[in-house]
Amino acid sequence: MEKQMNYEAVSEGAGVLSAAGQPGAAQMTQASAEPVTWKDYYRLAKPGIIYSNLLAAFGGFWVASKWDVNLWMLLFTMLGTALVIGSGCVLNNYLDREMDAKMTRTQNRALPSGRISAKTVLWYGIILGILGVSTLYFLVGSPLATLLGIIGLFLYVWVYTAIFKRTSVWSTFVGSFSGAMPPIIGYCAVTGTMDMGAWILFAILFLWQPPHFWALGIRRMEEYRAAGFPLLPVVRGTFVTRISMLRYVVLLVPVTVMLNLYGYVGEIYLIVSTALGLIWVLLCVKGFKAEDEVKWAKGMFIYSINYLFLLVLLMVIDTTSGG
């Protein structure tokens, strides 16, 4: 689920690498000496990713509710989803701890810096997952939403993080399956079924993620290369990556329109979402002529975040009434 809206990547500070690509000894000693606080556990769960995923889950819940919102169910759905996502992020940190120590963006985190033990992080992630799944099943009362949460967690931790992220340029594609789960968890908590609305929401989030994450990959390409991540920009270069980004964004435009065609949202959503999608296509095309591709990639990354926020906002504002 990390694929979705990696806000933390924008703000995390950079550390200093030794010549071997590892944090310097003085830096590691200083980090290890710092006391562990609740903020370290909070950051291990990657709150930026949780909040952004909850936005998508909220959008799915709202569209399914058609303005007839059960507030208690909404609250428990958000809580259960947040715990499952937090579990995935913590276990991702556990599995990536050695690679994170090689990247300036991540080497100062509590686990790679040695301030929290790997065993503690592992149990922290497991407990969050158990609490999240239990909340979806017992408090939300949705076996389907619970199953989707389990599937998303499994795909993200074991299929994406443990296997593809380390071995294949297809990692972003694979990770997009888990990253597309939050909106349909929210949607299916209300409907109890995977109907067309759920599949459209899944497709929107699935198509949104690769261009979003590859923009970050271009910006941080040398860090990913040093850490050994076979990300598409690292393996195939930025030109191939820009072509791939354009393909996903072009496909995204008609898929977003389908929410209107099937009657889930109104004309305001149709007009504005189409305009937002076409602007993103134009930005992708401009990337082929960009003199500073890092600056262009940063603009693409920021736009992708704003795009998804506005898209979900439009869903909420223009959801059709069930009456």
Three state DSSP letters for the chain: CCCCCCCHHHHCCCCCECCCCCECHHHHHHHHHCCCCHHHHHHHCCHHHHHHHHHHHHHHHHHHHCCCCCHHHHHHHHHHHHHHHHHHHHHHHHHCHHHHCCCCCCCCCCCCCCCCCHHHHHHHHHHHHHHHHHHHHHHCCCHHHHHHHHHHHHHHHHHHHHHHHHHCCCHHHHHHHHHCHHHHHHHHHHHCCCCHHHHHHHHHHHHHHHHHHHHHHHHCHHHHHHHCCCCHHHHHCHHHHHHHHHHHHHHHHHHHHHHHHCCCECHHHHHHHHHHHHHHHHHHHHHHHCCCHHHHHHHHHHHHHHHHHHHHHHHHHCECCCC
Residue 124 included in any domain: yes
Residue 24 included in any domain: no
Residue 137 included in any domain: yes
Residue 21 included in any domain: no
User: Cα separation of 195 and 226, whole Å?
Assistant: 43
* Residue 1: per-residue pLDDT: 59
Residue 322 included in any domain: no
CATH number at residue 284: 1.10.600
- Range of the structural domain that residue 39 is part of: 8-15+29-317
Closest CA to 135 of 171, 174, 189: 189
* Residue 108: per-residue pLDDT: 79
Residue 263 included in any domain: yes
Closest CA to 226 of 111, 115, 117, 98: 98
Residue 3 included in any domain: no
What is the domain count for the chain?
1
Residue 22 included in any domain: no
* Residue 29: per-residue pLDDT: 39
* Residue 216: per-residue pLDDT: 94
- pLDDT one-digit tens code per residue, 103-115: 777 787 889 888 9
* Residue 3: per-residue pLDDT: 52
* Residue 33: per-residue pLDDT: 55
Q: Structure tokens of 177?
A: 């399956």
Where the chain has pLDDT below 50, the residues are 2, 5-31
* Residue 28: per-residue pLDDT: 44
